[in-house]
């Protein structure tokens, strides 16, 4: 018996169709980094292939190679800096690399020349995220230098919106700055990929951007953070033991919960090693047979306890619904002082992923 993450193909298709209608002429770069935000990168990417999505964003070479090994089709872009000892693997497997400085590009060129291949790059431009990317003030000069470097194909240019969900003025400034750069760089060459909009940007600023070719979407595909989409996940965990606890008996590590009347306690096979942090102890309600049941006692590494006194006819092996397709996880996120991204991306590998 294992905890299970059920992934709805129907809801995923609904969300992709919604994005496609919204982005019009553009195509999708699906962000499947961090194991598709904890959902399962191979499962999600193969399903996206079936839905006509053929470009993917990952965080490192290991993630990119896993997609290649599992025959995920299309362009794969590493959106972070590629370590020098991994550049050769990216080149050999035809994986596109983000670049943010000349030294990095020169090293990629050196490795590509040694391997008698052409390395594909996307030039990242910093318009206000202040994380990675070429400085916007000298990008034209640097771009001309990049053009002179051998064994390099400039496949795309992009930037990243930092406040799309919270600061319109700042976001408009980023959009306009990037638009000016694109206009100047297109005088030098055309690009297959021009991308700026993330999930929030796609939802809020599609009508303000008319010069891009792709959008980079993540959470919106998975149905969270957007009321127009449908959550694709249901998480369950099996009951592995049932206890009957007398009044005043302490439950779990530290005895943080004390039974009031006689209590029926179900021990459920999921814990903080699976993504439910200890800080959530005694704060959550879960469903069993459509009855809400409180989690009690400190959450353990591999297990948690739930008060199921109000539930009749339960047995070992029954599945407790930790969240379902209707939930947006906001409650769990708020109670653990996290955002939804953190909640789903922290789901552990012991949880079985099932697409249906």
| Cβ neighbours for 316, distance < 8 A, ≥ 6 positions apart | 238, 239, 240, 241, 242
Cα–Cα distance for residue pair 91/43, rounded to 1 Å: 24
Residues 308-321 have pLDDT tens digits of 999 999 999 999 99
What pLDDT is stored for residue 10 in this prediction? 98
Clarify whether residues 202 and 240 are in a common domain. Answer: no
The reply to whether 244 and 120 lie within a common domain is no
- Flag whether pLDDT at 275 surpasses 90: yes
Whether 8 has a pLDDT exceeding 80, the answer reads yes
Do 36 and 85 sit in the same domain of this protein?
Answer: yes
Residue 164 belongs to some domain of the structure: yes
CATH of the domain at 285: 2.40.37.10
Per-residue confidence (pLDDT) for residue 71, from 0 to 100: 97
Percentage above 70 pLDDT, the chain:
99
Decide: helix, strand or coil at residue 320: strand
pLDDT average, residue stretch 244-268:
94
The residue from 18, 33, 37, 222 that is catalytic is: 33
The string of DSSP codes covering 264-297 is EEEEES--GGGT--GGGTT--EEEETTEEEEEES
- 172 tagged catalytic: no
- Look up 18 and say whether it is catalytic: no
Residues 83 and 217 in one domain: yes
200 and 247 in a single domain? The answer is no
What 8-state DSSP symbol labels residue 84? G
What's the pLDDT band for 237 if we cut at 50, 70, 90? very high
Q: Taking Cα atoms as reference points, which of 63, 61, 54, 9 lies closest to residue 34?
A: 63
Q: What integer pLDDT is reported at residue 225 of this predicted model?
A: 86
Q: Supply the pLDDT for residue 328.
A: 60
Q: What is the pLDDT of residues 65-114, one digit of tens each?
A: 999 999 999 999 999 999 999 999 999 999 999 999 999 999 999 999 99
Say whether pLDDT at 304 is over 90.
Answer: yes
pLDDT surpasses 90 at 193: yes
Torsion sign (Cα): 77, 81, 84, 85: negative
**How many whole angstroms separate alpha carbon 202 and alpha carbon 200?**
5
pLDDT at 282: 96
Q: Which of 253, 310, 334, 335 is catalytic?
A: 253
What was the pLDDT predicted at 326?
79
Q: Are residues 199 and 331 in the same domain?
A: no
- The DSSP string of 125-162 is EESS--SSSEEGGGHHHHHHHHHTSTTEEEEEEE---S
Q: Which domain holds residue 158?
A: 9-222
What pLDDT band is residue 244 in, cutting at 50, 70 and 90? very high
Instruction: Answer yes or no: is 177 within a domain.
Output: yes
pLDDT digits (tens, 9 = 90+) for 116-158: 999 999 999 999 999 999 999 999 999 999 999 999 999 999 9
| Listed residue (85, 340, 87) closest to 218, CA to CA | 340
| pLDDT value at residue 64 | 98
The fraction of the chain above a pLDDT of 90, given in percent, is 92
Residue 26 confidence (pLDDT): 96
CA dist., res. 328 & res. 63, Å (int):
26
Using one digit for the tens of pLDDT, what is the confidence trace for 321-342? 999 887 767 888 889 999 999 9
pLDDT band at 283 (very low <50, low <70, confident <90, very high): very high
3-state SS class at 356: coil
* pLDDT score for 273: 97
Asked if the model's pLDDT at residue 260 lies above 80, the reply is yes
Check which CATH number belongs to the domain holding 189 and give it: 3.20.20.10
Rounded mean pLDDT, 349-356: 96
What average pLDDT does the structure give for the chain? 96
Tell me whether residue 115 is in a domain: yes
Decide if 227 is inside a domain: no
Q: How many domains does the chain contain in total?
A: 2
If you average pLDDT over residues 282-299, what whole number do you get? Answer: 93
Q: Provide the pLDDT for residue 331.
A: 84
Strands (E), the chain: 4-7, 27-31, 55-58, 75-78, 96-99, 119-126, 134-135, 152-158, 193-195, 214-217, 233-245, 250-251, 257-258, 263-268, 285-288, 291-296, 304-307, 319-323, 352-355
Same domain assignment for residues 32 and 158: yes
Note the pLDDT of residue 79.
97
Query: In b/e form, how buried is each residue of 309-326, taking b as 16+ CB within 10 angstroms?
Result: bebeebeeebbbbbbebe
Query: Does residue 232 surpass a pLDDT of 80?
Result: yes
4 domain-assigned: no
Residues 177 and 36 both lie in one domain: yes
Residue 2 counted as domain residue:
no
SS3 332: helix
């Amino acid at each position: 018996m294992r905890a299970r993450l059920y992934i709805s193909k129907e809801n995923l298709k609904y969300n992709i169709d919604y994005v496609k209608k919204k982005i019009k002429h553009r195509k999708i770069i699906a962000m499947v980094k961090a194991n598709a935000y904890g959902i399962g990168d191979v499962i999600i990417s193969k399903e996206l292939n079936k839905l006509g999505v053929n470009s993917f964003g990952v965080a490192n070479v290991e993630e990119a190679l896993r997609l290649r090994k599992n025959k995920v089709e299309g362009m794969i872009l590493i959106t972070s800096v590629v370590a020098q000892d991994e550049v050769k693997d990216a080149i050999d497997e035809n994986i596109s690399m983000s670049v943010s400085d000349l030294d990095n590009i020169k090293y990629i060129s050196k490795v590509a020349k040694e391997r008698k291949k052409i390395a594909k790059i996307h030039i990242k431009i910093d318009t206000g995220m202040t994380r990675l990317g070429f400085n916007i003030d000298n990008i034209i000069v640097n771009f001309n230098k990049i053009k002179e470097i051998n064994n390099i194909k400039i496949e795309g240019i992009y930037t990243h919106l930092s406040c799309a969900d919270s600061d319109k003025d700042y976001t408009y400034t980023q959009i306009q700055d990037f638009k000016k750069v694109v206009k100047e760089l297109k005088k030098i060459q055309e690009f297959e990929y021009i991308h700026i909009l993330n999930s929030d940007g796609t939802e809020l600023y599609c009508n303000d951007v008319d010069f891009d070719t792709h959008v980079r979407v993540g959470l919106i595909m998975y149905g969270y953070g957007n009321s127009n989409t449908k959550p694709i996940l249901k998480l369950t965990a099996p009951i592995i033991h049932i206890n009957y606890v007398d009044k005043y008996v302490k439950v779990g590590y530290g005895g943080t919960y004390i039974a009031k009347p006689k209590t029926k306690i179900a021990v459920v096979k999921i814990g903080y090693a699976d993504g439910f942090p200890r800080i959530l102890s005694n704060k959550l309600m879960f469903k069993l047979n459509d009855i809400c049941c409180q989690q009690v006692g400190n959450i353990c590494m591999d297990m948690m306890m739930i008060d199921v006194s109000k539930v009749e006819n339960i047995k070992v092996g029954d599945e407790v619904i930790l969240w379902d397709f209707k939930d947006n996880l906001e409650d769990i996120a708020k109670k653990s002082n996290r955002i939804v991204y953190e909640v789903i991306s922290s789901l552990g590998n012991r949880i079985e992923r099932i697409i249906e």
